[in-house]
Structure 1
Amino acid sequence: MSVSLLPSSHSEFQLKDYWEKFFQKRKAPFEWYGEYLDLCHILHKYIKASNTILVVGCGNSKLSEDLYDVGFTSIDNIDISEVVIKQMTSKNRTKRPEMTYTVMDIFEMTYNDSTFDCVIDKGTLDAVCVNSGQETIDKVKNMFSEISRVLKSNGRYICISLSQEHVLNQLVAAHSQGWIIRVHVVKCVGEKVGVASALPVFIFVMTKMASPAIQIFEYVNEDEKCIRCEDDAGIIEFVRNCQQYALVLHHLGSMHMEEQVCLDLWSGSNNIEPRFTLRVVDLPKKKALNGQFAIFLVPQGRETNWLFSSSAGSTQLAESAGYERLVIVTLHRGHTYQSLDKVKEEISTKAMELSQDSLPDRIKCPVLSLAEGVGSRTVLLESSSSSSGGFVVEESQDEEERGLVRRLVFLESPHLAQTEILMINKSDGASKRKGKKGRQHKNGGKLFDFSELMFPYHKLMLSSLALIGGEEGGKRGRNPTGAALDILIVGLGGGALPMFIKKHIPMVCQDVVDLDGSMIQVAIDWFGLEADQIVTGGEGEKILVHRDRGKLNVIQGDGVEHIMSLSDRKQANTLYHVIILDVDNKDAGSGLSSPPLSFTTPQFLQAAKSLLHPNGM
C-alpha cells in the first residue's frame, strides 16, 4: 500500500475532495477491510439471495461484485464520490446489469422508508466517525438514523469496522435499544488487513427489532460459539481484548522482545481460571543454537517451580533450550487435559501466532517438555477463607520421582506454592523414622516427610540458628523457663517450617502466629501439623508461661498486633532468639512480595527488636 494514499489526519476521511483524489490515484480496488474470502463466511449467515441490499460508501471495493457473482443480485451501491461511481458503473454495466451505482449522500438518502432487507457498511462509519467531538457525533447519529429509516423491520445493518474506541462507543450506544447486536472478529486468509496491520477487523451485525425495549448483546468467539453478554460493556470488552491481542501479535511478529510477554487463553466453559498461560521468552540470536522457535509444555503440578513461574527462571529455561523464541505453556487447575497430543493440537495455532514473521511457513515446530505426558494434578481440597481468599490443596508427582508432593496454593497467586511437603510410602517412612509411627491425617495412607525443607528460603531462614550459636547462644540469652532457643514465626501456611524445626531441632520452643483460623485447620488436617497448644490472639500470654523444649505453640491472631502487644507489656519471659516473618503480601501494587508493608514500619521493627535477646536475629 502506498503511503501517499493514506490521509495525513483522521479528519480527511470525511472530506469529499480527499476521496475524489484517492480514487483518481488508485484504479485498483482498495480492500483494507478484508477481501471477500475473509468476509463471506460471516456475511452469508445474515443475508439471503432474495434480499434487497444497500451498500453505503461503496468506493471501488469488489465486495458488491463478489456478492453479485454468487447470487445476491438485488444490490444498490451509493457513494459521495462521482469519480468512483462513474468507474464502477462503467465496469459493471454489462457484466452485472441488475446492480446499480448512484451518487448519493448517506446523510440524505432519497430512498423510501423500509426499502432494504440489509445495509452493508464497509468502512464508511470509520470514515465518518473521525473523533469524539460533538459535530462528529451529530453526523454519526444522522447516518444511523438514515440507515434505520431505510431498513425494514428485522432488517440487518452489517457494519465492517476497525472499531477504534470513539467508533465503538458510538456504534454500541446508538444500537443498544431496539436492536440485536452481534460481533464477529474477521480472520484474514491472506495478508494482514486494516489501516495498520495491528488493527483487527470486526463485523457488527445489528438486527432492527419492532420493539425498542429489546436489548441483546452477543459476540462470536473463536470456536464459532455465540456468547450472550449482560450489557453493552461485554461487547466493548470483547472488542478491546481482540485489539490488545492483535497489537501484541504485531509487536511479537516484527521485533525482538526485551521483556517477557504473558498471555492467558480462556476456555468458554470455565471462566474462573485460564486454560493455558503462554509466556514468550526471546534470546539473542548468538545464544539460539537450536533454531528460531519452539514450544515448551510445563507438566501439570510443576508450574510453581521457579524455572517456570519467574522471569529469571524462564530465561534460564530458554537458554537451556537454545531457541531464539521459546513459548512456555502452563496448564491450569480446574481443567481436564486428555493427552500430550491433544494439548499440542489445542495450543499449536495460538502458539504459532506468537512466532516471528521471519519464521518460514508450514515449519514443524518442536514441542519440548520434561515428561512424556501432560503430567497430573489431584486437587484434594478447594475452599476459601475471609483472610486468604480461595485456596487449594493438591498433589502431583515429585520432580525427582521420590513420591507425591502436596502443595497449598492461594489462588490469588496460582503459580506460587505457599507450602510444599513430600508424601512418602509407609515403608519409606518407617525406615526414615527408625520405627516411629508417622502421624497420619488426610494423607491417603502415606506419611508426611518432615526430613526435608522444599523451599530454599526456609533453609536460609534456619541458618540464623547457627549464627545464634546453639547452646552457647542459650547461655548468653537463655530464658529462665529452660528452652535453649525461643523462636517466633509469623505466618504458618501449611506448617512445613515449624514441623521441620519440631522434628529436627528439639532444643527449640516455637510460637507461630497466623491470622487465618481456617489455614491453621488446613495445616492440621492436610499437612500433619502437630501443635501442642492452639490459642487465640487474646489468650497469647498463656503460652508464654511454659517454655519447654520442643514445644510448638500456635496463636491465631494478627502478627503485627501480637508483636506490638508483647512489646508493650515488656515481659521478661517474652524474649526470642529469632523472629521469622514468613508472610506473603497480597497487595501486588506495593512492590513487595513479602512481607506486607505493615511489617516494615519503624514502629513495628522497633517493637520486634525489643522482643529479641541481645544477640537475637
Structure 2
Amino acid sequence: MEFAQPEYWNSFFTKRGEKAFEWYGEYLELCEQIHKYVKYTDQILMLGCGNSQLSMEMYDSGFRNITNIDISTVAIRKMLDLNGEKRPGMTYLQMDATQMTFEDDHFSVALDKGTLDALFVDDTPEVQATVERYFNEIKRTMRNGGRYLCITLLQEHILRYILNYFPRNGFMLRVVHCTDADRANQEKNADNPDVGAMPVFIVVATKFKALPTPILEFSLGKDKMQRVQNAEELTNAVTAVQKAALICNGLARTSIAGHKEVVMDLCQPGDSKPRYTVYILDQPPARGLGKFAAFIVPQGREIEWLFATTKGREKLQSSAKYQRLAVVTLHRDQTYLSLDSVRAELADSIKCLAPIGLTEQIPFLSIAADVGKRQTLVSGFSQISGEFRIEEVEGAEGKVFRRLIFLSNQFVIQSEALVKTIKLKGKKERKKIDFGYLACQHHLYMSAGVQLITGPKNNPNELKDVVVVGLGGGGLCSFLHAAVPNVRLTAVEIDPIMLEVAEQYFELKQDNRFHVVIDDGLAFLDVCKREEIKFSAVLFDVDSKDSSLGMSCPPKSFLEPAVLENIMSIIGDKGLFILNLVCRDEVLRDEALVQLRAAFKSVCCYKLDEEINEVIYCSNNEKYKSIEEWKKDLGAAARRLNTATREKKLYDDDMLEVTEFLNDLKM
C-alpha cells in the first residue's frame, strides 16, 4: 500500500525535483485522443496531477478551466510556484481524490494519468474499497454526459474492476490503445525493456443516467471504434494487445536476421478470425538497404510461392531492399475497400513493428495499384475434404485465375486454372479455361513422363492407356488430353464432388479418350491387378489429408509394398510409374525412396527448383540402367511435348526448359 500513501509521494517528488514525471506518455503523444473527448469549454478535473506537465501543456493549448488535485502537498506547492504567474486561473489543490470536497455534478471531464494504477496496487479487499471510493467520487462530481479519461496500463485486475464498475453504474465504456505513447515509451526507455513493453491505454467512461444494455467499445488506435458484445471480448482484445506488445518490444530492440521470421495475426476486436497476417523478416544491414517497409500482398495472391513460403518472402525482401520487411496478407471472408484504406487501418500496427530510432515515414509497398480482387463463385462441402471454395482472383498483369481451395488447408491451392475472356463475332464475351496453363509445375514434368511412354511418333491411332490417381480440378488430365493425342486417360477420384467441380467450373470433358472413375485409388489398382488390366503409365497426384505428417503427397499408404507390387503388375516391364512426392521430412523422403528402389529396377528423380515437389519416375525396363538412358528418352519426350504444345497453340514458346531439366535429373 506504500504506493498509495501521501508519504510515499511526498518523498518521491522531493527526490524527483524539477524533472517531470511523464511515465505514461507526454501531451504530444496523448493529445490526439484527448482532443477527441475534451472541449475547450469543459470544466476539467486533473486527478493526482503530481508534477506532470500534462495540464500545463493542455492549458497552453487552450484548455483554461483546469482544476488540479493531488494528495501530496509537496507536489501542489511546486506546481503552484511553477504556474502561479505563468498560467493564471489554473487551480492547484491538495486533496484526497477518494474524499473530494467539490459539489455534485461540478465537472464535465475528469482526467487520470496513472493515478488509478498508483491506487490499485493489488487486488486485496482493502485496495478495492479505496478504488470504489475513488470511482464513486468521480461519478458524484461528474455531470451527465461527462467523461472520465483514465490513462492506464490496464493490468488484469484493474481492467476486471473497470468492466464491473462502470457498466453497472450507467457508464458507456471505451478502451483505446495509445500507440503513439507506446512508441515514445520505447524510445525513452531503450535501456529498460520492461518499461517499454507495457502498452498504454485510455479508458473513456461516459456518464449517463441509465443505459438499457452495457455499451462496450475498443479501438486499436487510429482505427474506427469497434463495438464488442461483452466484457470477455473486451478483455481478450486488451490481452491480445498486451501480448503483442511483448513481441513488438523485442522487435524494436533486436534484429532477427539469421533467425526464423515472426508471424502475427491481426484481428478486429470481438472477432477471432484473423483479418491480416503479418510476417516480419530481417536481413543484415548493408549498403543500399532501407530500414523498414511494409509490403501488402493483394488479396488472392497470398498463396503464391513468393508470399506463401519463407524462401519466397526472403526473396521478396531481397528484391525490396529493406533490412526489415513486414509482409502483410489479407484473408478471405473479409472486406477491404481500397489499398489506401488498408494502409490507414494498418498504420499503427506496422509502426509498432519498427526498430527503435526510426524517424522516417514507413513506406507501404505492393505489386498492384489496388487491394486486389477475389470473387467467390461457389462455397461447397465435401464429405471427404470438408468445406471448399471456388474463387476467381486477379493476378499479375490483370490475369484472372480460378482456384479450388479447401478451407482445411486454405493456404494451398488445390487446383488452379487460367481464365481467358473470348468474344466471338456477334456474341457476348464469355469466359473459357486455358488448358495450356499448368499452375503446378510438377504437372509439366509428369506430362513429359507420359510423353515418354507414347514413343517417338505420336501416332494417334496407337493409344497408350494411362491412369491418373487424383483428379482435383482436372488440370493435369485436361492438359494431357489436349497436348498428347495418343493417350487414353482414366482418372480415379475418390470424391464425387470433385468431379462435379471439375466439370462445372474447370471445363473438364469426358469422351472416348478420357473418362473418370469414382473409386478409392488403391482399391482401383487392386482390381486392375486381379483382372489383369494393363496401363502404360500410372500417375500418382494425390495429397494426404493428414497435415500432421511430414509427407503431403502422396498419403503414406500409397507407397506400401503391396501397392507398389500392384503397380508393377499393371505397368509391366515397359511401363512407367510417375509420382509427385512432396515431403518436408528428410527421413520420410529417404524411406519413400528406399521403398521405391526396392520395388523398381530403376528410379529417377527431378527436384523442382524453389519448391518441395519431386517428380519420381520408376520403371522395371532393363533399358534404364543408367542416368544417361533416362536423360536421352526424357529429353526427347520433353522436346516432343514442347513441339506438341506449340502446334496445338496451347503455349507460344517452349513450356519446358529441356537442358535445365536434364541437368537436374538424378538416379
Fold match by TM threshold 0.5: yes
Match of 2:542 in 1: 582
The answer to whether the Cα contact below 8 Å between 1:298 and 1:374 also exists between their aligned partners in 2 is: no
User: In the alignment, is residue 456 of structure 1 matched against residue 441 of structure 2?
Assistant: yes
- Please state if 1:24 is matched with 2:46: no
2:160 to 144, 157, 169: 169
Gaps of 5+ in 1: 1-10, 430-442, 472-481, 533-548
Change (3 A) 1:212 1:362: closer
SS of residue in 2 equivalent to 1:210: coil
**Alpha carbons of structure 1 residues 163 and 463: separation in structure 2 relative to 1, 3 Å:** farther
Aligned to 1:280: 280
The amino acid that maps onto 1:499 is S
Q: In the TM superposition, what is the alpha-carbon distance from 1:460 to its structure 2 partner?
A: 5.4
Q: TM-score, normalised by structure 1?
A: 0.71
Per-residue deviation at 1:40?
A: 3.7
Cα distance between partner residues in 1 of 2:541 and 2:488: 17
Q: CA deviation at 1:523?
A: 1.4
Q: 1-side partners of 2:40 and 2:395: how far apart?
A: 60
Structure 1 residues 112 and 352 mapped into 2: Cα distance closer, same or farther (>3 Å)?
A: closer
Structure 1 346/62 Cα, relative in aligned 2: closer, same or farther at 3 Å?
A: closer
Query: Would the aligned equivalents of 1:581 and 1:595 in 2 still touch at CA under 8 Å?
Result: yes
Change (3 A) 1:188 1:337: closer
| 1:391 aligned onto 2:389 | yes
Please report the TM-score for the alignment, with normalisation by the length of structure 2: 0.67
Q: How does 1:75-224 map to 2 (within 5 A)?
A: 75-79=67-71, 81-93=72-84, 95-96=87-88, 99-104=91-96, 106-109=97-100, 116-132=107-123, 136-137=127-128, 139-177=130-168, 178-188=170-180, 192-193=184-185, 196-211=195-210, 213-220=212-219, 222-223=221-222
Q: Does 1:36 align with 2:34?
A: no
Tell me how far 1:197 sits from its aligned partner.
Answer: 2.7
Equivalent residue runs for 1:336-415 within 5 Å: 354-359=353-358, 361=360, 367=365, 369=367, 373-374=369-370, 377=373, 379=375, 381-385=377-381, 387-396=385-394, 404-410=400-406, 415=411
Q: Which moved more, 1:67-76 or 1:169-178?
A: 67-76
* Alpha-carbon distance between aligned partners in 1 of 2:216 and 2:345, rounded to the nearest angstrom: 28
The 1:223–1:321 alpha-carbon spacing in structure 2 relative to 1, beyond 3 Å, is closer
Give the structure 2 partner of residue 552 of structure 1.
Answer: 515
Closer, same or farther in 2 for the Cα pair 1:138/1:513, shift >3 Å?
farther
Match of 1:306 in 2: 305
C-alpha separation in 1, matches of 2:467 and 2:395: 33
Per-residue deviation at 1:526? 1.8
Alignment-mate amino acid for residue 442 of structure 2: Y
Per-residue deviation, 1:529: 1.2
SS at match of 1:32: coil
Aligned partners of 2:4 and 2:119 also within 8 Å: yes
Q: Summarize deviations over 1:476-530 as a string: whole Å, max 9, x none.
A: xxxxxx996563524x33111232344455545424224362x432211221112
SS at match of 1:594: strand
Aligned length: 544
The one-letter code sitting in structure 2 at the alignment partner of 1:552 is: H
Distance in structure 1 (CA, Å) of the matches to 2:298 and 2:150: 44
Counterpart in 1 of 2:262?
A: 261
- Alpha carbons of 1:486 and 1:212: their partners in 2 closer, same or farther (altered >3 Å)? same
SS in 1 for 2:479: helix
Q: Does 1:594 align with 2:574?
A: no
Q: Aligned letter for 1:497?
A: L
> Aligned-pair distance for 1:215?
0.7
Q: Structure 1 counterpart of 2:282, which letter?
A: D
Contact 1:179-1:209 within 8 A present in 2 as well:
yes
Across the aligned residues of Structure 1 and Structure 2, the Cα RMSD in angstroms comes to 4.6
In 2, Cα distance between the equivalents of 1:30 and 1:612?
78
Distance change in 2, residues 1:600/1:342 (3 Å): same
Alignment identity in percent?
Answer: 31
Q: 1:204 to 1:374 in 2, by over 3 A?
A: closer
Aligned residue identity for 1:283 = Q
1:444-593 paired onto structure 2 within 5 Å: 445=430, 447-459=432-444, 487=467, 489-490=469-470, 492-504=471-483, 506-507=486-487, 509-515=489-495, 517=497, 519-531=498-510, 550-555=513-518, 563=522, 571-572=530-531, 578=538, 580=540, 582-583=542-543, 585=545, 590=548
Give the gaps of 5 or more residues in structure 2.
Answer: 187-193, 456-461, 578-595, 597-667
Aligned equivalents of 1:554, 1:336: Cα separation in 2: 42
1 CA distance for matches of 2:231 and 2:114? 22
Write the letter of the residue equivalent to 1:261: V
State the 1:134 CA deviation.
Answer: 5.7
Tell me the distance in 2 between the aligned counterparts of 1:101 and 1:304.
62
Does the CA-based 8 Å contact 1:148-1:208 persist in structure 2? Answer: yes
Residues 222 and 450 of structure 1, relative CA distance in 2, 3 Å threshold: same
Tell me if structure 2 keeps the 8 A contact 1:122–1:161: yes
Cα pair distance change 1:118/1:449, threshold 3 Å? closer
1:451 to 1:119, Cα distance in 2 relative to 1, 3 A: closer
**Separation in 1, partners of 2:421, 2:214:** 60
Shift of 1:47: 4.3
Q: Deviations over 1:24-60 (max 9, x none)?
A: 2212221112223333443344445665543332221
Write the distance in 2 (CA, Å) between the matches of 1:191 and 1:54.
27
TM-superposed deviation, 1:172: 1.7
* Partners of 1:208 and 1:426 in 2: CA distance: 63
Contact 2:392 2:402 (C-alpha < 8 Å) held by counterparts: yes
| In structure 1, C-alpha distance between the alignment counterparts of 2:560 and 2:132, rounded to whole Å | 63
Q: Distance in 2 between matches of 1:516 and 1:15?
A: 74
- 1:88-144, Cα deviation, whole Å (9 max, x unpaired): 34444554456132142x445565665544432211222233345566555544543
| Distance change (3 Å), C-alpha of 1:138 and 1:50 | same
> Aligned residue for 1:539?
none
Shift in Å, 1:163: 1.8
CA distance in 2, matches of 1:212, 1:377: 42
**Matched residue SS, 2:509:** coil
> 2:299, 2:374 within 8 Å by CA — same for their partners in 1?
no
Judged with a 3 Å threshold, the aligned counterparts in structure 2 of structure 1 residues 47 and 362 are, in CA distance, closer, same or farther, namely closer
SS of 2:473's equivalent?
coil
